[in-house]
Homo-oligomer: A and B are copies of this chain.
Amino acid sequence: MTASNQGLGIKRCLLFLGDITEPGFAKTAFGLRDWAGERCVGELRLPGATVSAGLPSLSPAQAAAQGARELVIGVAAPGGGIPPAWAPALVEALEAGLDIVSGMHVRLASLPQLLDAAARHGRRLVDVRNPPPSIPIANGLPRSGQRLLTVGTDCALGKKYTALALSRGLRARGMDAEFRATGQTGIMIAGSGMPIDAVVSDFVAGAAEVLSPAAAPGHIDVIEGQGSLFHPAFAGVSLGLLHGSQPDMFVVCHDPTRSHLLGYPHVPLPSIREVVAQTIALGRVTNPAIRCVGVALNTGSLDEHEAAAEIAALAERLPYPVADPMRGGPAFERLLDACCD
């Protein structure tokens, strides 16, 4: 991805996977591997870890010898938090000359061991989930340029990948499209962005306005969505992002194998139609022309035949193009067509 360089995540790095056993918590590692693979020299796992990004296992010293300048914490548990068991490996990375980059809510500098070791070895502790100062209250005024937002029936089902794939696909067609990151992984991939869920709630819509400013008429900001309007914990983030983004277009991201919200077995997934209707009803507050341009289906857990059948069945039922952006093909081209209308 092209993106402005704010000194974040644009160096070669070692992906740290901790001791996790749940692949759903390794979104950051997988995202960097998939969208910035050329920067990832290897991975570091602690005893007990069962999740791998499929990269060579390297010690911090080995990674530094292969050109890494950063250890990126590639694991994000809901709510953030750095287990004490990780500290020795992180200190070892600082000793080996690597900066540490984290997308967690908790600040790296809040761990005295890391603060000491970073000072001792002249290394940096970089928290990308650290919003800029002086974010304004949203003004809600219409602005020039076009914006596309990815929204979802739940968290963690492809809003970032869809936004990255759409911006790549639009650029391949010669469009002036730019990916706008709103989460820690997206920010690390793009090198800039707005950690929207770390912004104080009064300023969320204002932060979204800052992230996707007025632009030339032909320009399209493709904005990474967050959460879901139907999520009991994160819907407020989703709504502030929707209002501040003032999207002309949105794409609904969905996982056809999911029946309930991830981590919320008591909350059924909303339907795509409910998400479309509610996104339009609420989005109209800041952009009366908001429209759904398609559905991005995450078929990562299906084989090729099942995926094609699922996409075709859904396309039959909905008045929008349906595609899995990670599978590409004619369906994805039709989704891109809809973004260019």
Please give the residue numbers on chain A whose beta carbons come within 8 Å of chain B beta carbons, in ascending order: 78-79, 105, 136-141, 196-206, 229-241, 243-244, 264, 266-267, 278, 281-282, 285-286
Contact = CB atoms under 8 A, between A and B. Distances in A.
A137 B155 CA distance: 14
Contact of A232 (B196, B198, B236, B285): B285
Nearest to A238: B236
A231 B278 CA distance: 15
A229 B32 CA distance: 35
Contact of A266 (B141, B199, B243): B141
Contacts of A230: 285
B267 A237 contact: no
Q: Which of A138, A201, A234, A282 has the most CB of B within 10 A?
A: A201
A202 B243 contact: no
Contacts of A240: 201, 235-237
A140 B234 CA distance: 10
15 contacts: A79-B202, A105-B200, A138-B232, A139-B264, A196-B201, A197-B201, A197-B202, A198-B201, A198-B202, A199-B201, A201-B236, A205-B236, A232-B243, A235-B239, A236-B240
Contact of A140 (B197, B233, B241): B233
A147 to B, nearest CB: 15
Q: Which of A79, A141, A238, A240 has the most CB of B within 10 A?
A: A240
Contact of A239 (B138, B236, B244, B264): B236
B78 A137 contact: yes
A290 B140 CA distance: 29
A227 B205 CA distance: 13
A289 to B, nearest CB: 15
B229 A236 contact: no
A282 B236 CA distance: 11
Given A138-B233, A230-B285, 19 more contacts: A139-B264, A140-B264, A197-B202, A198-B200, A198-B202, A199-B201, A200-B201, A201-B240, A202-B237, A204-B236, A205-B232, A205-B233, A232-B243, A232-B285, A236-B236, A236-B237, A236-B239, A267-B285, A278-B281
Contacts of A205: 232-236
Contacts of A79: 136-137, 202-203
Contacts of A243: 232-233, 235-236
